[in-house]
Amino acid sequence: MITPTLFLEKSLWEKGFKNIAGVDEAGRGPWAGPVTAASVVIHSENQIVAGVRDSKKMTKSQREKAYHKICKKSSGYGIGIVSERDIDVLGIQKGVRKAMFLSLENLKANFGIDISLVLVDGGKTLRLYKYKSRRIKKGGLFHYSISAASVLAKVTRDRIMKKLARKYPYYYFSKNVGYGTKAHQEALKKHGISPIHRKSYAPIKKMLRQNKKSDMININLYGNTSVFAIRR
């Protein structure tokens, strides 16, 4: 098991970067719902929450327990949420970046911390051009501030999807959190697309095309029948 450390953060503190924010997102791949991001700033070993790792390596129960401790012990944290509508307009890459920007703005507004440097999870994440930043492949595995951010982002999104599951019960969002599971796919076939599905995502886009094609066939059939009736 890989345990994230403050090795990188400490080396950057020594170089004068006082307020280092770790940033990560949750919800890049789901077919429905928002994408979330979180940012976390700490200043010492004493602020580490034991057991925190990349959120994907933790159970739901572990993440929930860690969430409150991270919020309590960190010098500052922020959350950013970008809706499925914005994702459809911007694309997921820009949607993720917007969520990250929002999380950093939220952190600054609530805690009055000016960010010196941002450590971003993912080597291919779009650059956060408003900040000095470093993109790190699998950063959440190795660097504590990013790991802590991943937990906040994941728990926030899971809670949102749990609420949406009550509004749209047919899609099992409380279990699949919007990912394209078999049960989710069957629900889409039976109930169609909900308002919170990402219409720019290939599987949903394909369903929309099929539905449009089906509607056109129905219109043509109706038109042909009408012409036939008139001719008689």
pLDDT tens, residue by residue, 168-186 = 999 999 999 999 999 999 9
What pTM does this model have? 0.90
Chain-centroid distance, C-alpha 64: 17
Domain presence at residue 69: yes
What residues contact 106, with CB distance under 8 A and at least 6 apart? 39, 78, 79, 80
Q: How far apart are CA 75 and CA 20, in angstroms?
A: 10
| CB contact set of 179 (below 8 Å; sequence gap of 6+) | 29, 30, 31
d(CA 28, CA 171): 18
- Is the Cβ–Cβ distance between 32 and 163 less than 8 Å? no
Q: Is residue 197 part of a domain?
A: no
- Show the domain range for 40: 7-176
Q: Is residue 225 part of a domain?
A: no
Q: What is the pLDDT of residue 210?
A: 83
Are the C-beta atoms of residues 22 and 39 closer than 8 Å to each other?
Answer: yes
Residue 151 lies in a domain: yes
- What gap in Å lies between CA 39 and CA 23, rounded to an integer? 4
Instruction: Compute the C-alpha angle 77/99/127, nearest 5°.
Output: 100
On whether residue 129 sits in a domain, the answer given is yes
| Cβ contacts of 139 within 8 Å, gap of 6 or more | 22, 24, 119, 120, 121, 122, 146
Residue 25 in domain? yes
Whether residue 55 lies inside any domain: the answer is yes
The count of structural domains within the chain is 1
Q: Return the CA Rg of the chain.
A: 22
Here the CATH number for the domain that contains residue 81 is 3.30.420.10
Considering only CA atoms, which of 138, 141, 152, 130 is closest in space to residue 38? 152
DSSP state of 197: B
pLDDT score at 213: 56
> pLDDT digit string (tens) for 13-37?
999 999 999 999 999 999 999 999 9
In a domain, 209, yes or no: no
Averaged pLDDT in 10-residue chunks for the chain of 232 residues: 94 98 98 98 98 96 98 98 98 98 98 98 93 96 98 98 97 97 96 97 92 52 39 30
